[in-house]
Chain A
Amino acid sequence: MSKSLSLNPDQLAAFGAELDALRNRHLAELGEADARYIRRVRASVRITELAGRLMLFAGFFPPTWCLGVLLLAFSKIVDNMELGHNVMHGQYDFMNDPEFSGKHFEWDHSCTSDAWRRTHNYQHHTYTNVLGKDHDIGYGTVRIFAEQRWRPFYLLQPLWALLQAVFFEYAIAVFDLKLDRYLRGRAKLSELKVKAPPVLRKLWRKFIKDYVFFPLIAGPHWLAVLAGNAVANLLRNLWTFTVIFCGHFTEDAEVFPLSVLKDETRGGWYVRQLRGSSNLSGSRWLHFLTGNLSHQIEHHLFPDIPARRYASMAVEVREICQRYGQHYNTGSFAGQFFTVLVRLFRHAFPSRPAMQPV
């Protein structure tokens, strides 16, 4: 059941207009500070990657090995989240800099940037939490909402989720291929022959880089480098999985039937983004390490505004939501993640949606 008031068309239009005004104010301010910020983020990614890899070359000496793993994991996390995810949304296109162009950015992740731009930027951000349209609802492997149809497969979903967390980058990489459709004979294999090669090429490249090339040039310390890269990738996978599952699967997050898309207004779209997303409260470091996905609500309202601005936008968004009686879904990282786990276990078993108020 929704904790938010339902708005009439006039209220919806006014709500949308206030958010549009907020967005345009920030659009007009884009400039030097944003450019300097994203260049520094990029510098931190490059320098920690270099430092981390060099330290792993020193072998299994515990202080350098552990620090090397942490630096490399930090680099990969920031590269994927604060840098890659945000740049690929076109947040820094205003700079006209080819190295920060949303269309051409490439990241340190097994998922091809092109597939990401299609499934995430377009499908997920346009049709957020619409059943049947937004495949990010449960990623095809878990049942998070009572509105999803139950299948016996979901009984073991805590295990599926754990596997997904460990292999998150590969799960995301093959996600766009929607392999289950081929297994169930719903799509032709010839289609897979066209779609698979770029995905496999990227997977292979990433695999060679972390598990063949760098171990090889490390010579006698090859095993330390191999293990270090594997642990760094694992840490990145667990972290990104946890953050991303907190974005739309918390207790108060809502899903919507396909019918909401019919004649949906700008205001209606904003309300859907708001009700489908959830924030994490925490320190500046939490916001940085989650790539500001801790401000999932602001990110979904304004996906193309530089994420460094979400913290200050959040103050106004919250105030606007309060005036319109809209629930602003936020909580501590641990608290929000706990509600995700509750959903994960609860909806492994058959469940029914609560009745909507008439």
Chain B
Amino acid sequence: MPLIPAALVNLALPLTRPLAAFLREDVFDYYGRLLHPQLQLRRVFARLKARRLEGEATVVLTLSPSRNWRGFRAGQHVAVTLEKDGVRHTRRYSPMRAANGRIEIAIKRLKEGLVSSLLHEEADSIGYLEIGQAEGDFVLPDTLPPRLLFLAAGSGITPILAMLRELKARGYQGELNLLYYGRHRNQMAYLDELRAYPGLHLHVCLTGEQAQAGEQAGRFSAAQLDALVPKAEGSAVFACGSHGFTEAVQAVWQQRGWQGLACESFTPPTWHLEDDKPVTLTFARARRQLAGRTGGTLLEQAEAHGLKPASGCRMGICNTCTCQKREGAVRDLRTGEISTKPDETIRLCITAPVGNVVLDL
């Protein structure tokens, strides 16, 4: 039970800013959270306000972030962090505007998905969740084009729906098309809201069961696109879904030489057990992509390409080369264990990629 009310804390948060120059953040945060979970110098904790089901497999959480949160543009994503067995796990979700300055995130339940299962099963026991600042450039332009086409597959609907809510709030008058793909009708989230959206041409496309009246069947194809949206050329297009889905969309746009396509995909990491397979190593902060191979340590491979990440003992003891892996599959060379977790701490000198890897370096 917090010792001081949330309203007071959020009133006070902007006033704590100047303290950052004098105080150690972790010391302030330690005492702060004894008083209220949101009383933190920079970190953002959001109060879980409500929880409901959308479709059969998606849970929607309504969150009220502290004033440390700088807001978001529709289509961006935030890191959501949960602790399980002493280890913090981070996943990214697209926030959507909700009433009273709150936000919504939709979490589709994944088979063996640790965070999604926790958010489905134990959401009631969660008072506050840590979220990060919004990131990403999959967003609507400032001046809106006359025609917008959205392509969404599965939980790729969430950044799209965030944009649709934004468009409604901005009073958008142009033409709106949405092709929404899903395997089963009753697992597709937000169908009711989309059907009731004024002026939206919604095309529900089912890939895993028979289509009924008003629905389409089959995966995305050029022919289907032409049949459903004859004026697709020249529209500003936003596509979000699995990697395979956005690749199929990109292929059509490329083949026809059309412009104006923005894509975002969530890719489950893949890996090869054999050594010496080609992979891509991305150094996100340095904005560099290197051609790597499985089996060799990340440190040696980065150095072979002329990068100089901080390093020391080269045997996994001194902790100098520790960094965050944003995504991808890697193997710990000491234990042989493979990890595909996003946002985890690794040491470059004892970690080898087994698939494409994105590092926070």
Contacts and interface: CB of A to CB of B under 8 A. Distances in A.
A304 B345 contact: no
A128 to B, nearest CB: 10
A98 B343 CA distance: 12
A117 interface: yes
A106 interface: yes
Interface in B89-131: 89-90
For the complex, would chain A's binding face be called helix, strand, loop or mixed by DSSP majority? Answer: helix
Interface residues of A, number: 38
Contact of A303 (B317, B320, B322): B317
B307 interface: no
B83 to A, nearest CB: 8
Contact of A95 (B27, B88, B323, B335): B88
B30 interface: yes
Given A42-B30, A117-B320, A36 B86 contact: yes
A35 B85 CA distance: 8
Q: Most chain-A CB neighbours within 10 Å: which of B27, B312, B319?
A: B319
Nearest to B311: A122
Interface residues of B, number: 29
A89 interface: yes
Contact of A20 (B24, B90, B322, B334): B334
B335 A24 contact: yes
B160 to A, nearest CB: 30
Interface in B313-354: 313, 315-320, 322-323, 334-335, 343-345, 347
Contacts of A122: 312-313, 318, 320
Contacts of B315: 126, 266, 269
A126 B319 contact: no
A266 B319 CA distance: 17
B30 A34 contact: no
Interface of A: 20, 23-24, 27-28, 30-36, 42, 46, 88-90, 93-99, 101-103, 106, 117-118, 121-122, 125-126, 266, 269, 303-304
Interface of B: 24, 26-27, 29-31, 43, 85-90, 312-313, 315-320, 322-323, 334-335, 343-345, 347
Given A27-B334, A34-B86, A88-B319, 16 more contacts: A24-B334, A28-B335, A30-B86, A90-B322, A93-B322, A95-B86, A96-B89, A103-B319, A106-B26, A118-B320, A121-B317, A121-B319, A121-B320, A122-B313, A122-B318, A304-B316
